[in-house]
Structure 1
Amino acid sequence: MSTIRDVARLAGVSAATVSRVLNDKGYVSEEKKEKIEKVIKELKYEPNQVARGLAKKTSKTLALIVTDIANPFFPELAKGAEKIAYLNGYSLLLGNTKGMDHQDDDYVKLLMNKYIDGVIIASHDIDTKILKEQENTPMVVLEMDNDIENACTIKVDNYYGAMVATRHLLTAGCRKIAHIYGPQYDSTAKERLEGYKAVISGTLGATAILTAGDFTINGGAEAAQNLLNKYPDIDGIFAGNDLMAIGVLKKLNQLKVKVPEDIAVCGFDGIFLTQVTNPELTTIEQPIYKMGELAAEKLIFRINHPSYKKETIELKTKLNIRESTLIIRSGNKRKHFVDK
């Protein structure tokens, strides 16, 4: 493997001159520059990126911190971010906060102190005070309300998307619609809950039926059972994310409840698994891959423009109607679905 000294020797210059060309730092005559670049090409010389990073105080590395990589939402997000990182000469480091034994803040500090050039935060497990302490690090924050100076925040229209989901269930013939909401420290869960409540409160004869969930499949299944024990005549369920909606489908299948004939089900996120459930799941789809791409693009821009002002971007969602809400019902008798 060729070294910088090999390049310098064949080009008839010093290693320091070669370094100036590689790092585009300091004056080098055009004649010497062309000779050095020619030798680099002939030797197929690859600069040591770690050494270059230490010299420039940069590593060409971005960090993506997510809540739970087991949630299919986050791998799709990571794919979009990794593509843009790669195209711009960056590596992507992935961090997962779930299962860190409540040491998430120390974990974030550790990541940010390891010569990363910028970070994408896609986790609500992190104290925003910790993020504010890291304001000198270029940062993009996903789906989290914050007052971090110079950060770019990217969100989707969760409130409106939840309204669309609830209205769709009404249009599908549902008259007693329940909502399984996510953890209320999560701003996305709060906004989706408020969107549901806004539609129900404006619908004649409708009453909000609510139960808590935890954004997991098991949490969705447990919440569905709780709903059916208390409200056996519900005919629609809007789950606060797709994983909980998949858990609802699992529980309804165990109880021999037909979807959508007896109960229609709608989720939120648009993860791939919604296409392989039985029945396929209606969902409010957010542009997950695009969000990852945009997050990386905005982060790299801020690395190159460190004084750029605070920015908030809101992306649109869309209703993706599938089998779980497809049949329109009217006036059919409700059954009692209680787990025995």
Structure 2
Amino acid sequence: MTTIKDVAKKAGVSVATVSRFLNDSGYVSLEAAKAVTSAVEELKYESNPVARSLNTKKSNLVGLILPDITNPFFPELARAVEDVGLTYGYTVVLCNSDEDPEKEKNYIETLKKKYIAGFIVTSNQLDAPHYANAKVPIVALDRTINEKIPIVSSNNAGAIMGTNALLERGCRNILFLRGPEKLNPANDRYEGFLEAIRNSDAHYQVVTCPFHFADSQKIVENVLKDHPQIDGIFASSDVSAAGALKAAGIVGKHVPDELQIVGFDGVAMGEMLSPGLTTVAQDVYKMGAIAARVLIKRIENKEIEQNFYEVPVKLVIRGTTREGME
């Protein structure tokens, strides 16, 4: 196996010069740089990334901490982060936190020991000290951590759009599936729903609902049995909306003739349901891609344009809602 000493000998320079050139850690003359480049190519030398990280206290690893990889929203984010990371020479390490602060802290501390270059984090741990004191670049994705950490999210005011979609299609007894109360995006969507519904003559009720299919199905099934007059459901996530669609079938509510459903996320799963799910669609891939580019800029000490990046949403009409009323 070719070593750094072999490269130095071939280039006619010191081992220290080769190390400075390969690690970009000091001055190397143009002549020496050309000689080292030629030697590396001729000898087909490949640097050891582990050894390099030990020497420079840096690596090309990026940590991606997500709360629940069984929710299809998060794998779509991860795909974008990985695609952009690989383009720039970074490898993404996926960490599933299960919304557990101790697991998040453990991932942070463990990966820092591996000289992780930076983190992209979806967390509900606001101002957690293990983020504030991480001493590596961090970008928040979908959920704010604190004002000092850049955040990439969608416009959660899209909840107004989703609520109006039901109102405009004749719904007058609407159930809102509110997400977990500790999550900023869920709270923003709740506020958007209230803003729209209070300007209407519709009746409504709100139930707190985790972003899980089975839990959502059970909750909606019980509500529909107790309140058969409900004719519209707006869910804070597509996963919850999918659970609501399953519950409707169980209690014998025909969608969309008797019950209309709108979700929020825009994940690919919504198109696979039958009927297809009407949703307030985020550009999930774009959110992940922006977060990756912002993090890489911070890792490479490049200036970022802003600390808050908001991706627009749009309403996608499918089979869980009727045609708009004239």
Q: Shorter chain as normaliser: what TM range?
A: over 0.9
What corresponds to 1:189 in structure 2? 186
Q: Where does residue 69 of structure 1 map in the other structure? A: 69
CA contact (8 A) 1:180 1:223 kept: no
Q: Does 1:229 align with 2:222?
A: no
Q: 1:29 to 1:111 in 2, by over 3 A?
A: closer
Unaligned runs of 5+ in 1: 331-340
Residues 138 and 46 of structure 1: is their aligned pair in 2 closer, same or farther, counting only changes over 3 Å? same
Task: State whether residues 197 and 208 of structure 1, in contact with CA within 8 Å, keep that contact through their aligned partners in structure 2.
Answer: no
Letter of the 1:291 partner, please give it. M
Q: Deviations over 1:82-108 (max 9, x none)?
A: 111111111111111118695443343
Equivalent residue, structure 1, for 2:105: 105
Matches within 5 A, 1:18-33: 18-33=18-33
CA deviations 1:206-238 (Å, max 9, x no partner) are 223111210110122112113213321111100
Ranges in structure 2 where 5+ consecutive residues have no aligned partner: none
Judge conservation of contact 2:140–2:150 (CA < 8 Å) in 1.
Answer: yes
- Residue 190 of structure 1, CA deviation: 0.7
Structure 1 residues 267 and 301, CA, compared in 2 at 3 Å: closer, same or farther?
Answer: same
Counterpart of 2:123 in structure 1 is 123
Counterpart of 1:59 in structure 2 is 59
Match of 1:252 among 248, 262, 276: 248
Classify 1:13/1:106 alpha carbon distance in 2 versus 1 (closer, same or farther; 3 Å): closer
CA RMSD, aligned part only? 2.2
**Structure 1 partner of 2:152:** 154
Asked whether the 8 Å contact 1:172–1:325 carries over to 2, the reply is yes
The Cα of 1:49 is off from its aligned counterpart by 1.5
Where 2:58 maps in the other structure, the secondary structure is: coil
Q: 1:215 aligns with which of 211, 215, 218?
A: 211
User: How many angstroms does 1:289 deviate by?
Assistant: 0.7
Q: CA deviation at 1:180?
A: 0.7
The alignment status of 1:238 with 2:237, answered yes or no, reads no
Give the equivalent residue in structure 2 for 1:336: none
- Alignment: residue pair count: 326
Q: Are the counterparts in 2 of residues 183 and 213 from structure 1 also a CA contact under 8 Å? A: yes
Matched-pair contact (CA < 8 Å) for 2:181–2:208: no
Match for residue 34 of structure 1? Answer: 34
> What percentage of residue pairs aligned between the two structures are identical?
38
Under a length normalisation based on structure 1, what TM-score does the superposition of the two structures give?
A: 0.89
Comparing 1-10 and 193-202, the one that deviates more: 1-10
Distance in 2 separating the partners of 1:145 and 1:14: 48
CA distance in 1, matches of 2:189, 2:280: 11
Q: Which digits, 9 at most, give the CA deviation of each residue in 1:57-112, with x for residues without a partner?
A: 11111111000111111111011111111111111111111186954433433334
Question: What corresponds to 2:167 in structure 1?
Answer: 170
C-alpha deviation, 1:157, in angstroms: 1.2
CA distance in 2, matches of 1:109, 1:122: 17
Shift in Å, 1:132: 4.4
**TM-score, normalised via structure 2 length:** 0.93
